[in-house]
Amino acid sequence: MVKKILRWGGLAFLVFFVAYRPQSAANVVTSIGGSLLDIANGFGDFFANLGG
């Protein structure tokens, strides 16, 4: 029950955030995407250096 409430609350917050602060929401997504890309590059470098 609590999990369901948190899920719907999170979805409602997401819709509210995108609707009323689209620029901020875009900045958050860009930041998260950049961080994920940095992590992926780090793993790639790690595995590339294992073979050498």
As separate numbers, helices (DSSP H) first and strands (DSSP E) second, the chain gives 2, 0
Give Cα separations from 18 to 3, 5, 14, 27 (angstroms).
23, 20, 6, 11
pLDDT of residue 52: 65
pLDDT category of residue 51 using cuts at 50, 70 and 90:
confident
pTM for this entry = 0.66
For the stretch 11-48, pLDDT in tens is: 999 899 889 999 999 999 999 999 999 999 999 999 99
